[in-house]
Every structure is written in structure tokens, then in C-alpha cells.
């Protein structure tokens, strides 16, 4: 029984050692390829903070579930690494929980999501301000340029037309 416990402890230590090596190994492969983390982020559409968490072996900062596997797969594909081997290593070191708790997953996503004003909302404010500005410019042009010229031209043409008919 003590022997079994020491095997369990040895397995746990081996897993902890392997976990440290996974992120470090991934980072070494990226650096060996001469690729910045920003380039990987841009090419994979995975945020830099998630890539950093992966390289630092900090799964608590990742969205969780199958999304983590997707991040590893995208990372490997971008660097041209053997996806199956890296995914197998990742899955062995960070197994998916048997009971998927979607509430916990949603909380993890909410916790890791950066709170910003959506780009679409800001874009509509810009469109609205641009339309108001164009309306004001049109009114000013009509009021200060077109209308005074129309008044002068009407005053000049009416007396001549009136005089030419009489």
C-alpha cells in the first residue's frame, strides 16, 4: 500500500515536471523558428494573453475545455509542428474533465475576457457624428452661400424682366 502511494506521488511529480516542459518546449520551438508571440497571435487569431498562458503552463488563464486543444492545434499548425504529437502530449498532461461543467466554462471565459466597448458600437457613433457634421455643413453652405446669391440674382433679374415687358 505504501508502495502504491509512492508510485502515485512519483506519477504526480512526473506530470508536474512534464507540464513545466510542455510550455517551455512550445516556446523553444517558436523561438527556434524566429517567430514573435505577436506574429503567432496575428496568424492564429488567438490572443497574446492565451498564448502566454500556454507557454507559461498556466491553464487557469485559458478558456478551458476543447478550446485549449484548439489553441494548441492552431499554435502548432502556424509553426509547422506535428499537431498530433503535441496534442497528445497536451491531452496527457492536461486531460479534459469527464463531466463538462458549462457553467464553470462560462465563468472561465467571462473571467479571461477583456472588457472593451465593442468596435461595432463605436463605429455607429462615428457614423452618426459624421452625418450630423455633413448636415451642419450643408445647412451652413445653403444659408451663407447659396441663399444670399439667389437673393441677389432674383433682385437683379426681376427689375430687368419687369422693365423689359413695359
| pLDDT (tens digit per residue) in 85-110 | 999 988 888 887 665 666 676 777 77
Query: Superfamily for 2-112?
Result: lambda repressor-like DNA-binding domains (1.10.260.40)
Tell me the chain's radius of gyration from C-alpha atoms: 33
pLDDT class of 42 with cuts at 50, 70, 90: very high
Highest mean pLDDT among 107-111, 117-121, 154-158: 107-111
Question: Who wins on pLDDT, 165 or 112?
Answer: 112
- Rounded-to-integer distance, Cα 62 and Cα 113, Å: 10
Do the Cβ atoms of 97 and 87 come closer than 8 Å? no
pLDDT class of 7 with cuts at 50, 70, 90: low
Q: Model's pTM, two decimal places?
A: 0.51
- Rounded-to-integer distance, Cα 61 and Cα 107, Å: 12
Q: What is the pLDDT of residue 138?
A: 94
Amino acid at each position: 500500500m505504501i508502495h502504491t502511494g509512492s508510485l502515485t506521488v512519483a506519477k504526480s511529480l512526473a506530470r508536474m515536471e512534464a507540464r513545466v516542459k510542455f510550455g517551455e518546449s512550445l516556446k523553444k520551438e517558436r523561438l527556434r523558428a524566429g517567430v514573435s508571440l505577436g506574429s503567432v497571435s496575428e496568424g492564429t487569431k488567438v490572443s497574446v494573453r492565451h498564448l502566454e498562458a500556454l507557454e507559461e503552463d498556466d491553464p487557469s488563464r485559458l478558456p478551458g475545455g476543447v478550446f485549449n486543444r484548439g489553441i494548441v492545434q492552431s499554435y502548432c499548425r502556424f509553426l509547422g509542428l506535428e499537431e498530433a504529437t503535441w496534442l497528445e502530449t497536451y491531452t496527457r498532461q492536461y486531460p479534459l474533465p469527464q463531466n463538462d461543467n458549462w457553467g464553470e466554462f462560462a465563468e472561465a471565459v467571462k473571467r479571461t475576457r477583456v472588457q472593451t466597448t465593442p468596435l461595432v458600437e463605436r463605429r455607429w457613433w462615428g457614423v452618426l457624428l459624421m452625418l450630423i457634421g455633413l448636415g451642419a455643413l450643408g445647412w451652413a453652405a445653403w444659408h451663407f452661400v447659396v441663399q444670399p446669391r439667389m437673393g441677389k440674382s432674383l433682385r437683379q433679374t426681376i427689375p430687368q424682366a419687369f422693365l423689359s415687358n413695359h
